Amino acid sequence: MSVRRVIPIAMRLSWLVLIALAIGEFVTDLPGPWWATTLLPALVVLALMVATMSLQARTAAPRGEPGPPVEVAPPVTGRWKALNSPADKVPSHGTHAYGQTYAIDIVAEPETAEGEAPGRPGAAPAPRPAADPATRPVPRPEAGPAIRPEVGPAIRPEVGPVTRPAFRLFWPVVRRNRAFPAFGAPLLAVADATVVVASDGQRDHLSRNSLPALAYLMLAEATVRSIAGAHRIIGNHVILDLGGGTYAVYAHLRRGSLRVRAGDRVRAGQEIGRVGNSGNTTEPHLHFHLMDGPDPDAARGVPFTWRGVGVPANGETFTVVEPEERGGQPIEEQAEKQAGRPTEKQAGRPVEGRAAGS
């Protein structure tokens, strides 16, 4: 068993010992003063716990300079906003633990938080400039979805425009998951891959997007989940083996939404599950990252870039559409024809359709 695997186990045992000492002080009559029987041992355990957490972060940190980012297809379609992005800081979530050095969170954002376009009330969303097809490559349909200019809020036919609820100080304390447009959104394989882990038995809890609920999450719930292990932190999840020693993690999936099992082969763009609100979350969203092994407790993070999107920065919105909406023709061929160049097939060049490392 590797040192990186032993460290999180030791940290969880430290938590259990600390809790046992606290309980023992109230339910038993230990001989001697309380500071000698409870406080002093608790301080020793707490110091060991802090040292263990620091060691865990150090052992999970990348060694040397990071390699080039692995290019994969986006895992979603529609309009989304990036949070906790590695484009702004590394480690993006404040820790290297669980292989999430370069992790990103994304939330569905068909409109702004208050139902208005950015800038001023009532303003229409400004369209995003289209990429120059002569200088910006885009993928073929079978390689996954592609980016397009933003032309307005996404609409769910059954309910009309959907607004993402804003964070509130006190009320409502919690919200149901269906109030968030990300909940139930399909998740797509980012490359041809093999499923190594598929777990979707944990419940989807209510949101934690108010000050009291966030305090509960940070002070109580997150602690319990840390003791229980990585699988309780990331909730329902899928881990894909992309090949070349690279693994993709999809976290916080919806309970019972998985369409794959461990050992299945998946194609890029294939639906594998749905966005949920399981694990250590404040609201329904997708947590995505790449790592160098299948075990989050022992893996190190790997940089990524989404084909046609890149790595969106904090607060940046991006829209991804399914390739069929491009007219059914391979997207590289459309771009090259628009640029007045022969297509790759006409030029006799191989067409790249798989993600790096797959």
Taking only the tens place, the pLDDT of each residue in 46-90 is 676 676 666 666 666 777 788 899 999 999 999 999 999 999 999
State pLDDT tens for residues 139-188: 433 444 444 434 333 434 333 336 888 888 999 999 999 999 999 999 99
> Does the structure show a pLDDT above 70 at 6?
no
The stretch 101-115 carries a mean pLDDT of 78
Rounded to an integer, the average pLDDT of 259-274 is 96
| pLDDT of 239 | 98
Measured CA to CA, the distance from residue 41 to residue 47 in angstroms comes to 10
Q: pLDDT-derived band of residue 227, with 50, 70 and 90 as boundaries?
A: confident
Residue 195: strand pairing partners: 240
Pairing of strands 304-306, 70-72: parallel
Q: For the chain, what percent of residues have pLDDT higher than 70?
A: 62
Whether 234 has a pLDDT exceeding 90, the answer reads yes
The predicted pLDDT at position 61 comes to 73
More confident residue, 332 or 197: 197
Cα–Cα distance for residue pair 125/106, rounded to 1 Å: 19
* Residue indicated by tokens 């690279």: 246
Report yes or no: 187 and 248 within 8 Å, Cβ to Cβ. Answer: no
- Looking at every residue in the chain, the average pLDDT score rounds to 75
Residues in contact with 293: Cβ distance below 8 Å, sequence separation at least 6, in sequence order: 99, 245, 247, 299, 300
Cα 279–225–203 angle (5° rounding)? 35
Residue 26 above 50 pLDDT?
Answer: yes
Section 261-267 average pLDDT: 97
Q: Does residue 249 carry a pLDDT above 90?
A: yes
Distance CA 290, CA 181 (A): 25
CB under 8 Å, gap of 24 or more: what pairs does 52-56 form? 52/7, 52/10, 52/11, 52/14, 53/11, 55/7, 56/4, 56/7, 56/8, 56/11, 56/97
